[in-house]
Structure 1
Amino acid sequence: MIFDQTHNDVISVSALNRMARDLLESGLPALWIGGEISNLTLAASGHAYFLLKDGSAQIRCVMFRHKLAGLGFRPGEGMQVELKGLVTLYEARGEYQINVDSMRSAGLGRLFEAYEKLKQKLTAEGLFDAARKRPIPAHPAAIGIVTSPAAAALRDVVTTLRRRMPSIPVILYPAQVQGQGSAEQLAAAIQRAGERREVEVLIVCRGGGSIEDLWSFNEEVVARAVAACPIPVVSGVGHETDFTICDFVADRRAPTPTAAAELVSPSREHLQGQVELARRHLARALGRLLTDKAQRLDFLSRRLKHPGEHLRRQRETLRLAEERLRRQLQGLFEQRRWRLQLAESRLGRHRPDLAQHVQRLDRLSEALHRAGDNGLNRRRLTLVRLAGTLEAMNPQAVLQRGYAIVQKADGRAVRSPLELLNRERVTLQLAEGRTEAIIEHPAGAQPELPF
């Protein structure tokens, strides 16, 4: 590509780096590149940064976390690898680098390709989905192991199970874990364990080794046997950095066979500690309960008395109450007697002249009668005058003289002919009752107000 740039067409550094990145990404396809890993850094974000070098050159590489998690092995310093990625440019620093999509150990390209192909196939079928994973029983009645009887992993698993919970029976389903026909034997052993239903959880395990040594656990027949097994399966294959197809299909993955044994078996020491803790809690609770009940019993026993004792106490209480009442009445009588004597003494000193008061009372009584008679006469005259006035204002008296009250339909009294319409129905209130009438105005005549 040729750029026709004049003197004034100045671009920024970021624009230049962007152009260079576009040229690299469009000009070079994704390539397989071989070399040695150097300066490997695993960031806290989970991404891996390293140099890929040969005898005379090197290039920066980055492999993001989601790509790194699906490798099946852990890249290491000095490891000879073959990687596939897109050649690009990191614009912020202007550094030429490879964004790695996949990686395989050098010389094992065919195995890694088969591994990735099967992994993608089973992923598409949903065999790795978390929704199909089954829980591992916390206290299995029996544990099954699929491995070789001569494998060191078997000794590690059995030793761990005996240490943690020796009471749980262990059943071995022997199978060859390496070499010709081992994958078919592993699948058959897993199927046999599922058919017998002798155990509640199944461990599929072997010790560490190279990718070729562990390849039986990457075979499709083993993966499908694990997926079809009706018993929860724990995969404990290789070391922590080893990932097999069996790990992804199993209900749980353990980093080592020993870890698988710890995963499926409860800890006797932990359970004993829990039982001891529960025993102490129960003992304290029972102690508190017994103490509370004992205190309650003491309280009730103090309240429980013999009926004779109860009667004696009531008689004593009644006697004391009677004595207090007698003393209070005696004191009250003495107080009243003293107050009566005092009142008699004061009455004797202030006794009035009864004859004089009787005469004065007679005079007041006579004056009261006279005043009452005079007031009654005045009220009678006022009542007569008001009755006459009321009678004069009584509308019934006016009606008795032949007058009538004209009322409209709503009860209002008519005061003017202008308030009446032709053919309007009205009510006439007479002295001795009511009647109705219809207004008739003469033709052409207009009602007039009286002068």
Structure 2
Amino acid sequence: MPLSPAVGSHPPKEEIYSVSRLNRETKMLLSQNFCSIRVEGEISNLAQPSSGHIYFTLKDSSAQVRCAMFKSRHRRSTFKPQNGQQVIVKADASLFEQRGDYQLIVEAMEGAGDGQLRHQFEQLMRKLSDEGLFDENKKKVLPRFPNTIGIITSPSGAAIQDILVVFRRRAPHIKLNIYPTPVQGIDSEKTLQKAIHSADRRNECDLLILARGGGSAEDLSLFNSESIARELFKCKTPVITGIGHEIDFSIADFVADKRAATPSVAAESSCLDNEQMLGQIEQYRSQLTRRALTQLNQHKQQLSWLTKGLLQQHPSQQLFEKSQRLDQLENLLQKAIKKQLQYAQSLLKNRQNLLQSYNPYRDITLLQDRTDHLTQRLTAAIKSKTERQKHHLSEAARTLEAISPLSTLARGYAIISDVCGQHLLNSVSEVQVGQNIEARLSKGSLICQVKEIHNG
């Protein structure tokens, strides 16, 4: 027989969420579990309001999600999004609490094709790194005083010419063996692999240089080949790579015993001189920098996680959401203004039609004639008044000229004052012998010194 609840007992009370609390805690769950994720899709409904933020929808064949990229992130991005583009975004999942809309806050964006190539490159890098092909401990020591150096490159490219110039200038005594091979095009991978294998098997060189001039990422893709990387790793002869320009990095660079920025630098690295010693110092500095950067990146990653947690409560996050709401209100305001303007234009047209029916053209013509007549009378009166005023002004000017001190000065008199010109002197008692005084003439003034004083 089932037990009955005790008299006066109550069933447990279910927790009731407010809408605000539900949205807030859902947002926290999304932010904590979907942080810095990569999502691929097609851009649609792209909007770029005056605030500098951008909004769009990311979709695939069966679903879509709203996205926002704020001004600070958009300004640092070189990628220019357009409707219909297939992209990969790095974003945090979030929730716009005011509407309860789920969205992605985008940190970075790139074309899907570029992302796929980079993903394949990074996958191969991780694979080869895990197998130890990049292990510094397995790299061979470069000979300090090589007698014979082999050069694996295209015989018609600019790289071979640059290398030969360097050796003629720095080490003309070193014997050079050239192993010609194409460095791009059909079957170039197999040909290059055979050239590396042959140069190593013949064992006639103390050091090998694998070189190619600059080019596009597609031109340099040969040196990201897994087969080339493995062939380099099997070489018993030390290898220096000089591929592309200083900013170009390939998998072959990481496998080789030493990577040089360009073919010319590779040639310089293979023969020792004073500049080489400086280069070794620079290499030690670069190794230290790389290690420091690795640790710095690790600390930055830890700081990034802590920062993201803090930003959930940071005022800037609230500011972003308010900014997003402001963009929506701006859009609504523009629509309302446009609608009101259309209504006002329609009303104005109706008023113009009504006004036209009461056109006072005849009355205006009569008033215009009368205005012209009054204008003529007013002009004549003004002219007469002006002539009288001119006459009075001329009389006053003559009177003023007669009593003006300037007229007195023009007759040879002078006004005597102290040097500062602030006090007029009327008596010899106001000055002393040796004192400087100013005499103002009709044209200019004189600074005079009192030599003698005569009373009377």
Q: TM-score, normalised by structure 2?
A: 0.43
Structure (1 or 2) with the larger CA radius of gyration: 1
TM-score for the superposition, normalised by structure 1: 0.43
